[in-house]
Amino acid sequence: MDLKNIDINKEIGAVGDVLNQEQKTKGLLIHAFQKLQSEMNYLPEEALKALGEKLNIPMSFVYSTASFYKQFYFNPRGKTIVKVCTGTACHVRGAGEVLSELKEEFGVEEGETTEDLSMTLETVGCVGCCGLAPVATINEDVIGEIDDERINEIIQSVKEA
Amino acid sequence: MSDKLVTMEIDGLTVQFPEGMNLVDAARSVGINIPNLCHLEHMRGVGACRMCVVEVEGMRAPNTACTMKTKEGMKIKTDSEQIKDLRRMVIDLILSMHPLDCMTCPKAGVCWLQDLAYQLDVKDSAYGRKSFDFEIDDSNGFIERDPNYCILCGKCVRVCTAQNTNILEFMGRGVGSKVTTERDKPLNETDCTFCGSCLDACPVNAILESGRRLKGREWELFKTDTVCTLCGAACPIDVSEKDGKVVKITSPKPNAFICAAGRFSYDSLAAKNRVTTPMIRSNGELKETSWVEAIKVISDKLASARSNPAKVGILASAAVTNEDAYMLQKLGRAVIGTNNVDSTASLYDTSTVPAYQKAFGKIAGAERCITEADLIIVLGMNASQWSRTLPAIDAKIRKQVSGGAKLIVLDPAEIKLAEVATKHLKLAEGTDTSALAALMAVLVKEKLVNKNRANKAKGLADVRNAASSSDVAALCAEAGLSEEDVKEAAELIAKSKVPMLFYSTGVSAKDNGVDTVLQALNLSALIGGQVLPVGLEANMAGVAAMGLSPLTLPGFAADGKKLAKAWKTDLPEAAGIGAREMLNGGLDFLYGVGDLPVSEGYEKPAEFVVAHVTHMNEFAKTADVVLPSPAFVEQEGSIINYYGRMKMLWSAVEPAADVMAPWQMAAELAESLGYKTKVDILDDVTEEVEKLALPPEKTTQTTSVITPSKGTGSGLAASGSMMTLSGSVIDASKVSELMRQAVTA
Ligand code: SF4
Ligand code: SF4
Ligand code: SF4
Ligand code: FES
Ligand code: FES
């Protein structure tokens, strides 16, 4: 998105009519975060800086707003996002092992991305497939009943992606 | 708040308050302290901590007092058992995420959480304790942040935001959320100015002076309320001392601002370049000597120099006390017989004294406080927290604007304050008198201000007539402003109730500065406003009132008759020379006191030079005799601040040097030249000042019609700050640089 030439009224559309200037700028922030993230996969500091300057909002406030939402990321994300479920059912059925094996294989901690940006490892609360525990998601797909073999499959699919 | 009073009942006590006052502040004003953790005095309540709950008659559930306002007939209970239980629960929850470190915690004794837990008798949390192991930020030499202690009250965020530094914010959400900087950066990687407002606001140990640990428990500290003399803002400060050393400096008023220099530069007291003993030059080098010897050498020189008083000069910085200033000019006038007495104030302000003498017969101050102002007009004053020029004035104005006050900036340049201006009138360079005349013309012609709101002033009818017969279009054209812009500004003025106008060197150093100041005083009289003349040094008004100027006698006396009688001597008749001429050289004898702004390689200005200083500086390097003087927080006496109010300086620590104050030195020299001063102690000077040098009490303003003119020139210091750090006068950019070095070191 072209941060230098944002037109608040154009970006924010019809809702803008009922908002004051301050509400508009704040509303636009979230909208801009979403656009930026869909373009760049995360919210780079430089882009946020340009955005803050353009909207005349201090950086502390920009980050405060963005960090309120789980959906925004401040570091580059991998091509494949692996989320290991650590909900109760998965926890008791070995999510911990799944997680540590993936950590070891890719040399990353929870919440980190591999240096080659191939993968980001995260955890997630119950994804609603407790019957298949332990569960992980790979991008949008759910993988259940993870055993050693399935782990290898996950690793393979990351490497091949 | 309105002027209307309401009657209410608090804990069975019938009390009256102004309507619409914050309930916590109101209760406090009658001695009832409603416990609170997130409330900032004079700011809007946010109701975040729920500590201030009270019972309100007619309301079903208890409510937070900090979000309620005083109202007729309101009945509240602040201390019932039900309320106490609710508060206990709040403390219990906080303690479940707070270290129980009171035995070593540096904030013990001033920690609000500790006090409240004690009052409510909560020993530990019933919920166990969760700790987060947050990283501590001790990246800089000034302020340490330890989020593990943070109770998320948000006070630091709100003070930092209100003054527009915008460094701290809430990050994340829910459990594990934290108050920190963008991306959790250490403070020295942000634009933090290290003012420490957040530190004063923090009720617990989450924000702390670096190096505060092990320097003494709070109850061992001896506190002295005094005034910072490092810049023209002259902020009240509270100096804590233990074992003869300054432990910390804080703001004595809740939620007031002091800058990093005022808060942290006390380490300069023991700096390497501190002058600790008298020194005399022999064979080209300064050598230590005794006070007796130093005084003898100086008075011998003075005895012979006195035969040609026109060639003797006394020059002090305008950060000296009233007592210093009074005695120094008396030494000049009564003992040596010269009017060559001046302060550095004349280097950046040649207008305030003559203009005010014409309008008031003295430098008059303001009766209202900036915290009451609903409109602020800034004229030729480039105050900035970031360039460290009059930082407290900048912060105060910004806080007031954050609270809803309007701001009109009259300045040709995009000054930093203009960022938050409601209206920035970018007038053409030097056309301040025209711009002010245009504003007055619009106000009068469009009947935007009625006569009732005017200040009492003689000659105001003439000013009004002149305004109504002037040509707005022509004045606007002269000032390079559009008529619409001027009208908009005039409308802001029309809507205001307590307008205040600040001006500084941007107009007062110009050659038509007297007219500009008079014009500003006219405008202020017309709209019922206040004018605040801000100098770059702490005691600009005081040194003028004490007569440390070739142009004014003590107490702004019109002639010297009374003084001559009291001093038992004739006063010199020949006009004196000012700071600039004295510094330009050619004198036989020059006694220089304090930080005189001369640059590196400065050439000796007189045959014999005495420098009475706190630290070695460029001026002192040229001196024949160097004398040690008490420094900031060691000084005693009084000053007159930019509100025109007398403020006392109390010595908070024993001077870290073998010092003599300038007033005392002046008395010694006078005595050694055979003049009886009757001055032994500071009180003797104070008494004499009270008799002879206090500016007249209330005087009525006399206005005079000013013909707009174009001003040129700017004084030496108008472009930068004269703030001193480690005792030498340096420009603003260098102060920032020094701060940064200290931070990165
Ligand atoms: S020291 Fe001042 S600028 Fe820095 S975070 Fe604290 S309040 Fe903000
Ligand atoms: S750091 Fe202090 S002032 Fe800031 S939110 Fe935490 S407890 Fe409150
Ligand atoms: S240097 Fe100026 S702004 Fe800073 S504390 Fe001292 S008087 Fe206040
Ligand atoms: S706990 Fe993992 S899917 Fe429900
Ligand atoms: S002081 Fe009122 S809720 Fe915190």
Phi-psi sector, B85: left (phi>0), alpha (psi -120 to 50), beta: alpha
The finding on whether B536 has its CB within 6 A of some atom of ligand 1 is no
Over range B173-201, report the average pLDDT: 94
Residues A98-107 have pLDDT tens digits of: 999 999 999 9
Given a contact cutoff of 8 angstroms between Cβ atoms, the answer to whether B153 and B38 are in contact is: yes
Backbone angles phi, psi at B416, to 5 degrees: -60, -40
Report d(CA B612, CA B627) in Å as an integer: 5
CB contact under 8 A, A74 and B182: no
Q: What's the CA gap between B741 and B723, in Å, rounded?
A: 17
Q: What's the one-letter identity of residue B375?
A: L
* Residue B362 vs residues A51, B232, B303, B352, B696: alpha-carbon distances, Å: 51, 19, 34, 10, 7
Question: For the residues of B8-67, what is the DSSP string, one character each?
Answer: EEETTEEEEEETT-BHHHHHHHTT-----SS--TTS-----S-TTEEEETT-SS-EEGGG
User: Ligand 3 centre and the CA of B277: distance in Å?
Assistant: 28
Query: H/E element holding B734?
Result: helix B732-744
Question: Is B169–A61 a contact, with Cβ atoms under 8 angstroms apart?
Answer: yes
Q: Sign of torsion, CA A136 A138 A144 A147?
A: negative
pLDDT of residue B724: 40
Please indicate, yes or no, whether residues A38 and A92 belong to a single structural domain of this protein. no
Q: A68 vs B167: CB contact, 8 Å cut-off?
A: no
Chain A: residue nearest B173 by CA?
A68
> Would you say residue B161 has pLDDT above 90?
yes
Do B112-270 and B279-344+540-631+657-679 share a fold? no
A90 and A61: one domain? no
| Residue B80 predicted with pLDDT over 50 | yes
Mutate to test the interface with B, among A64, A69, A74 (most CBs of B within 10 A): A64
Q: Say if A111 falls within a structural domain.
A: yes
Contacts of A70 in chain B (CB under 8 A): 173
Rg over alpha carbons for chain A, rounded to the nearest Å, is: 19
Domain boundary among A33, A68, A103: A68
Asked whether residue A86 is assigned to any structural domain, the reply reads yes
* B59 Cβ neighbours under 8 A, 6+ residues apart: none
Residues of chain B positioned with their CB less than 8 A from the CB of A62: 182
> Position of tokens 């002295």?
B224
B172 has a chain A CB within 8 A of its CB: yes
- Is the distance from CB of B280 to CB of B647 less than 8 angstroms? no
CB atoms inside a 10 Å sphere around CB B713: 12
Residue B551: φ, ψ to 5°? -100, -20
Contact by Cβ (8 Å): B693, B555? yes
Q: Is A87 in the pocket of ligand 4 (CB under 6 A)?
A: yes
Residue A126 CB less than 6 A away from ligand 4:
yes
- pLDDT beyond 60 at B164: yes
| pLDDT confidence band for A15 (50 / 70 / 90) | low
Q: How far is A61 from chain B (nearest CA, A)?
A: 6
Q: Does A64 touch chain B (CB under 8 A)?
A: yes
A127 CB within 6 A, ligand 4: yes
Same domain, A140 and A120: yes
Query: What does B209-238 look like in DSSP terms, one character per residue?
Result: ETT-TTS--GGG-EEEEEE--SSTT--EEE
Q: Does B114 touch chain A (CB under 8 A)?
A: no
The whole-angstrom distance between residue B76's C-alpha and the CA centroid of its chain comes to: 39
Write down the pLDDT at residue B695.
83
Beta-bridge partner residues of B316: B343, B593
Task: Provide the strand spans (E) within chain A.
Answer: 80-85, 119-124, 136-138, 141-143
Higher pLDDT among residues B472 and A69, named by residue: B472
CA distance A149 to B722: 74
CATH code of domain B279-344+540-631+657-679: 3.40.50.740
Q: Whose CA is nearest to atom 7 of ligand 3?
A: B234
Ligand 1 centroid, distance to B742 Cα (angstroms): 16
8 Å CB contact of A59 and B172: no
Residue the block writes with tokens 């038509």: B512
- Minimal-distance CA residue to ligand 1 atom 4: B192
pLDDT greater than 90 at residue B741:
no
Tens digits of residue pLDDT in B385-405 = 998 889 999 999 999 999 999
Distance B197 CA to ligand 3 centre (A): 13
Fold type of domain B5-79:
Ubiquitin-like (UB roll) (3.10.20)
Name B104's Cβ contacts closer than 8 Å, sequence gap at least 6: none
Instruction: Chain B: give the shortest CA distance to residue A62, in Å.
Output: 8
Q: Last residue of a domain, which of A45, A68, A91?
A: A68
What mean pLDDT is predicted for residues B726-741? 39
Kindly state if the Cβ of B545 falls inside 6 Å of ligand 2: no
Q: Residue A73 domain-assigned?
A: no
End-to-end Cα, chain A, rounded Å: 27
Residues 6+ away with beta carbon under 8 Å from B419: B164
Q: Is the separation of the CB atoms in B428 and B476 below 8 Å?
A: no
CB pairs under 8 A between A and B: 29
Report chain A residues whose CB lies below 8 A from the CB of B183. Answer: 45, 63, 74
The CA-based angle B139-B184-B390, given to 5 degrees, is 60
pLDDT at position B726: 34
Whichever domain contains A150, its CATH number is: 3.40.30.10
How far apart CA B329 and CA B663 sit, in angstroms, is 10
Number of domains in chain A: 2
Is there an atom of ligand 2 within 6 Å of B208 CB?
A: no
Asked, for residue A119, whether it belongs to a domain, the answer is yes
Please tell me the number of the ligand nearest to residue B44's CA. Answer: 5
Range of the domain at A41: 3-68
Q: For residue B557, is pLDDT > 60?
A: yes
A156 touches chain B (CB under 8 A): no
* Residue A31 CB neighbours (<10 A): 16
Q: Cα(B195) to centroid of ligand 1, in Å?
A: 6
CATH architecture, domain B352-535:
3-Layer(aba) Sandwich (3.40)
Cβ count within 10 A of residue B30: 12
pLDDT above 70 covers a percentage of chain B that reads 95
CA B234 to chain A, closest CA, distance in angstroms equals: 29
Cβ neighbours of B28 (radius 10 Å): 16
The answer on A121 and A151 residing in a single domain is yes
Can you tell me the distance from the alpha carbon of B215 to that of B158, in angstroms, rounded to the nearest whole number? 29
Tokens at B566, concatenated = 């009291």
Residue in B25, B28, B36 to alter for ligand 5 test, most ligand atoms within 8 A of Cβ = B36
One domain, residues A89 and A136: yes
From the CB of B179, is ligand 2 less than 6 Å away? Answer: yes
Give the chain B residue nearest A68 (alpha carbons): B172
Q: Looking at the domain assignment, is residue A75 inside a domain? A: no
Task: Give this complex's ipTM.
Answer: 0.79
pLDDT digits (tens, 9 = 90+) for B698-727: 788 999 999 999 888 754 443 334 444 333
Cα distances (Å, whole numbers) of residue B525 to A47, B501, B720: 50, 11, 30
Q: How far is CA B334 from the centre of its chain?
A: 33
Closest chain B C-alpha to A8 CA, distance in angstroms = 20
CB of B299 less than 8 A from some CB of A: no
Q: How far is the CA of A88 from the centre of ligand 4 (A)?
A: 6
Instruction: Please indicate if any CB of chain A lies within 8 Å of the CB of B168.
Output: yes
Decide the pairing of beta strands B207-209 and B143-145. antiparallel
Contact A60 B172 (CB under 8 A): no
Task: Identify whether residues A99 and A152 lie together within a single domain.
Answer: yes
Tell me whether residue A22 is in a domain.
yes
Task: Give residue B316's pLDDT.
Answer: 97
pTM > 0.95: no
CB atoms within 10 A of CB B457: 19
Strand ordering across the sheet containing B341-343: B285-288, B279-282, B625-628, B606-613, B587-593, B312-316, B341-343
Are B190 and B167 a contacting pair, CB within 8 Å?
yes
Cβ(B449)–Cβ(B731) below 8 Å: no
Using pLDDT thresholds of 50, 70 and 90, give the confidence band for residue A16.
low
Which chain A residue shows the shortest CA-CA distance from B170? A64
- The atom number, within ligand 2, closest to the CA of B179 reads 5
Interchain contact, B166 vs A59, CB within 8 Å: yes
Kindly report the CATH class assigned to B112-270.
alpha beta
What is the mean predicted confidence (pLDDT) over B636-663? 96
pLDDT tier for residue B736 given thresholds of 50, 70 and 90? very low
- Give the one of A45, A60, A68 whose C-beta lies nearest to B167's C-beta: A60
Phi–psi pair at B741, nearest 5 degrees: -60, -45
For residue A136, how far is its CA from the centre of ligand 4 (angstroms)?
9
User: What are the residue boundaries of the structural domains of chain B, listed by start?
Assistant: 5-79, 112-270, 279-344+540-631+657-679, 352-535
Q: Does the beta-carbon distance from A60 to B183 stay under 8 Å?
A: no
Exposure string (b/e) for B472-499, b if CB count within 10 Å is 16 or more?
A: beebbbbbebeeebbbebbebbbebebb
Range with lowest mean pLDDT among A6-20, A40-54, B180-194, B460-474:
A6-20
Q: Residues 92-151, chain A: which have Cβ within 8 Å of B?
A: none
Range in A9-13, A24-28, B133-137, B190-194 with the lowest mean pLDDT: A9-13
3-state SS, B466-493, equals: HHHCCCHHHHHHHHCCCHHHHHHHHHHH
Q: Whose CA is nearest to atom 2 of ligand 2?
A: B202
Per-residue pLDDT tens over the stretch B218-242: 999 999 999 999 999 999 999 999 9
β-pairing, B53-56 with B701-702?
unpaired
Q: What is the mean pLDDT of chain A?
A: 88
Cβ–Cβ gap A67/B166 under 8 Å: no
Are A60 and A95 within one domain?
no
Record: contact A63-B172, CB cut-off 8 A: no
Do residue A51 and residue A122 come from a single domain? no
Q: Which range among A43-52, B357-366, B709-718, B721-730 has the greatest average pLDDT?
A: A43-52
Which residue, judged by its Cα, is nearest atom 4 of ligand 3?
B259
pLDDT in tens, B534-543: 999 999 999 9
Distance from CA of A36 to the nearest CA of B (A): 17
Residues A19 and A57 in one domain: yes
